[in-house]
Structure 1
């Protein structure tokens, strides 16, 4: 997420047919994995994320490296529970003090970005969230991870795993990507998958997930694997940096180089609903 991106490189995923049902989705798995961290967001309406689990990224910073339009806040209007078991990240068209000096866009869009930096991180395991993304031109919801050594090693040397990204002008395409030293931005190895025929990812909740093991990251949506990346998929001579703890991020960006600007058809507030986030190890 934290980079300019225009395209993705498609890498074929290896899927064992015996593990799939007739509709192409995995059969329920028997696994010894145990939950190591979770947030179910079962709080009363208007509750902000647990301060023991989440931090806020704030402001324009500047434009998050992607010429994005939004200004992130820690207000419940932008990030809070709906009382129905979901955390809601809302992008809203409004002006707040301090937004006048934005570099790109109309300087009148707020949103939310939360992270578990310095509160939870883990190396290897299963990382998943059940999310209903918003649809609309210029919207850019994401669920992703960053290497926890970012304060000592500049991006992309710390590593980044984009578990879920969908941009509003490609509503039926889901992207997964890795970013590391010498293979970031447009050069980040990744892949994509399409929503079921005639559908958009914003039409319903979906479970977005990566299974991460030494020398391997696999992407799945609703239990269906669509991408696998190993050190063999990064440029020769470059370092595989997915061997240390990573923390989680959730955000709803607006505008930027990749999704383009919102237009008159984009409806605000745009809402990203997160039913849960769970990590297994």
Structure 2
């Protein structure tokens, strides 16, 4: 689901199968637990959407996108979709029965809907492994004229998109499940390279589609899966519905630079949304939505899960690997092992290189195997800059083992006079020895970006 340019899809691979819309209804199972981890695989991450009816999805797992664009990004999310995303439970909330519901609603002349994305942006298979991204969901139960403009999707974007918003499609996009206008079909699409044209034929992408097996996509839950296989040479990308493969792409189809731009970064974040109108539904239904489009039909999501092949799990944020980096060295912020919500940019600070920027409330950086040794470290120093507006400030915090563990120390930061106006700020921390996974977390009472981080270190 291209977020940087409106795309005009080629219709050559879109099945126009009216008969498929008339498949018999099947019994709907409203909720099933995340499937047991298969033998030889490990669970990397999951959300079963358990919680009270009307509650928002877990803020530890998800960011709720709002408005008509990312700040500074392309208008209408780059696709021409017309809805405004909100954090209103009427648009995005749990149903109390183990499901997430994303519901487009028309109020007067305005459409609103919901869009969420994972805080984690490091989903990527280790060398020699296979990553499996999966969701069991039911598309909005609406077809025909009443469905014109509906555009549900389950997809992934390359992590460098966060904070840039203009580097699509080079950073890569995996559309695991897309559907428009209530058609009984699932589309799987890869976006990459340059726009227009390039190796991924942008803005269309490299895609395939098929009808949902058995019951129609709209009348029943189906399981949508994407696999990135690094256990074979060349790498393979594969798309499935209910375990049946319907699309694949090989690394051999791309030049080395295109493939590296798409796969050489830290990984991907996952998204769920229901758009209304835009380039894709308009390509199949004329200008959408229309006066006949029905409001209030949700996409219902049972679970989202990520697995990796191999007996060893994805690096556990609570169990640091042996060795690692000396806590008393200068730890460059951009050398994190994982992050949420941030971006990397060139810095003008002494020594050059890069800093981590676009940092706001709830963002974090993870550093594995930070070795404090046997002498307790009692101080944390960080090189920070801020161009935040008046009244905008926040805390830079240090936590061990988890981004939600109690902070062992923090300091407050407000504007330093500019996003490249650097200051070194000290803070006391609780004494620490041994080797730990360190999280640098960021907390603010405002949603605006409030700090950049170049490097940090620990001392006694």
TM superposition score normalised by structure 1:
0.82
> Match of 2:188?
176
> Match of 1:45?
53
Q: 1:5 to 1:33 in 2, by over 3 A?
A: farther
- What count of residue pairs does the alignment treat as equivalent? 249
Q: How far apart, CA to CA, are the structure 2 residues paired with 1:220 and 1:131? A: 13
Q: 1:184 to 1:43 in 2, by over 3 A?
A: farther
Q: Does 1:233 align with 2:253?
A: yes
Q: How far apart, CA to CA, are the structure 2 residues paired with 1:179 and 1:8? A: 16
Any residues of structure 2 matched to 1:1-281 within 5 Å, and which? 1-2=1-2, 3=5, 4-7=7-10, 31-61=39-69, 62-94=75-107, 106=109, 108-117=110-119, 119-124=120-125, 125-134=131-140, 135=142, 136-150=147-161, 151=163, 154-168=167-181, 171-181=183-193, 182=198, 183=200, 185-196=202-213, 199-214=215-230, 215-234=235-254, 239-240=258-259, 241-244=262-265, 245-260=267-282, 261-281=288-308
Q: 1:78 to 1:34 in 2, by over 3 A?
A: same
SS at match of 1:258: helix
Shift of residue 65, structure 1, vs aligned partner: 1.4
Which has the larger displacement, 140-149 or 180-189? 180-189
Higher strand share: 2
Shift of residue 120, structure 1, vs aligned partner: 4.4
Q: 1:29 to 1:48 in 2, by over 3 A?
A: closer
Whose relative contact order is higher, 1 or 2, with alpha carbons under 8 Å and at least 6 apart?
Answer: 1
SS at match of 2:224: strand
Contact kept, 8 Å, 1:9 with 1:190, in 2: the verdict is: no
- Unmatched 5+ stretches in structure 2: 14-35, 70-74, 126-130, 283-287, 309-460
Shift of residue 266, structure 1, vs aligned partner: 2.3
Q: How far apart, CA to CA, are the structure 1 residues paired with 2:99 and 2:107? A: 23
RMSD: 2.2
Q: How far apart, CA to CA, are the structure 2 residues paired with 1:52 and 1:176? A: 28
Q: How far apart, CA to CA, are the structure 2 residues paired with 1:80 and 1:69? A: 21
Q: Residues 91-130 of structure 1, C-alpha deviation per residue, up to 9 Å, x if partnerless?
A: 00125xxxxxxxxxx5x0000110014x343112100000
Contact kept, 8 Å, 1:123 with 1:243, in 2: the verdict is: no
Q: 1:173 to 1:38 in 2, by over 3 A?
A: same
Q: 1:8 to 1:40 in 2, by over 3 A?
A: farther
Q: 1:250 to 1:208 in 2, by over 3 A?
A: same
Which has the larger displacement, 159-168 or 255-264? 255-264
Q: How far apart, CA to CA, are the structure 1 residues paired with 2:280 and 2:307? A: 32
- Unmatched 5+ stretches in structure 1: 11-27, 96-105
Which has the larger displacement, 62-71 or 1-10? 1-10
